[in-house]
Amino acid sequence: MFSGKVKWLLQDKSVHSAENELLAAGAGSDEPFDLAIIGGGFSGLCIAYHLLTHESLETKFRCVIIEPGENLGAGVAYRTDSPRHLLNVRAKGMSITECDPAFFARWLAENAPEFTPDDFVPRGMYRRYINDCLTRAIMQGQPGALTLLKDEVHTLEPKPGSEWYRLRLKSGRDVRARAVVLALGNLPPKTPLDKGLLATPWSSFTEYHKLKNLAIVGAGLTALDVILEAEASGFSGHYFIISRHGHFPKPHCEPHIPVPPELHEWAAELAASRQGLRPVLRAFQHKRKSGIGWEHLVDALRRHSPLIWSSFDLHDKRQFLRHFRTLWNIHLHRSCHASMQVVTSLKETGRLRQIAARVVDVEKRTGAGDSAVRLVLQSDALPALDVDRAINGTGLFSDILRTDSPLVAQLIRNRLVLPDEFRLGFKVNENGQLLSANGVVQPDLFTVGALRRGEELESTAVPEIRRQVRVMVEEIVRIMAERG
pLDDT in tens, 442-480: 999 999 999 999 999 999 899 999 999 999 999 999 998
Distance, C-alpha 315 to centroid of its chain: 27
Residue 222 dihedral angles phi and psi, to the nearest 5° = -65, -45
* 264-270 average pLDDT score: 97
* Per-residue pLDDT at 305: 95
Start-end of CATH 3.50.50.60 domains in the chain: 6-188+400-483, 192-251+334-392
CATH class of the domain comprising 192-251+334-392 = alpha beta
- Whether the pLDDT of residue 19 is over 60: the answer is no
Provide the pLDDT confidence category of residue 176 given band limits of 50, 70 and 90.
Answer: very high
Closest CA to 248 of 267, 229, 225: 225
* Preceding amide of 101 cis, omega within 30: no
- Which has more pLDDT, 57 or 108? 108
* Per-residue pLDDT at 78: 79
* Per-residue pLDDT at 2: 31
Across 102-212, where does the E strand assignment appear? 146-150, 153-158, 165-169, 174-182
Alpha carbon separation from 308 to 86, 183, 205, 276, 457 (Å, rounded): 30, 24, 42, 8, 10
- Whether the pLDDT of residue 14 is over 80: the answer is no
Distance, C-alpha 21 to centroid of its chain: 25
Least confident of 2-11, 90-99, 366-375: 2-11
- Whether the pLDDT of residue 292 is over 80: the answer is yes
- Whether the pLDDT of residue 21 is over 90: the answer is no
**Percent of the chain with pLDDT strictly greater than 70:** 92
Least confident of 93-102, 251-260, 273-282, 409-418: 251-260
173 and 179 Cβ atoms separated by less than 8 Å? no
Q: For residues 130 and 132, what is the distance between their CA atoms, to the nearest angstrom?
A: 5
* 371-399 average pLDDT score: 88
**The domain 6-188+400-483: what is its CATH number?**
3.50.50.60
- Whether the pLDDT of residue 99 is over 60: the answer is yes
- Which has more pLDDT, 26 or 45? 45
Least confident of 104-113, 191-200, 420-429: 191-200
Beta bridge partners of 358: 378
Q: For residues 229 and 234, what is the distance between their CA atoms, to the nearest angstrom?
A: 9
Q: For residues 2 and 22, what is the distance between their CA atoms, to the nearest angstrom?
A: 8
- Whether the pLDDT of residue 363 is over 80: the answer is yes
Alpha carbon separation from 406 to 169, 400, 420, 444 (Å, rounded): 11, 12, 19, 21
Buried b (16+ CB within 10 A) or exposed e, 162-200: eebbebbbebeeebbbbbbbbbbbbbeeebeebeebbbe
Q: For residues 336 and 136, what is the distance between their CA atoms, to the nearest angstrom?
A: 30
Least confident of 159-168, 334-343, 381-390: 159-168
113 C-beta neighbours (distance < 10 Å), count: 8
- Whether the pLDDT of residue 8 is over 50: the answer is no
268 and 304 Cβ atoms separated by less than 8 Å? yes
* Per-residue pLDDT at 128: 95
Q: First and final CA of the chain: distance in angstroms?
A: 31
* Per-residue pLDDT at 193: 63
Q: pTM of the prediction?
A: 0.90
**Mean pLDDT, rounded, of the chain:** 89
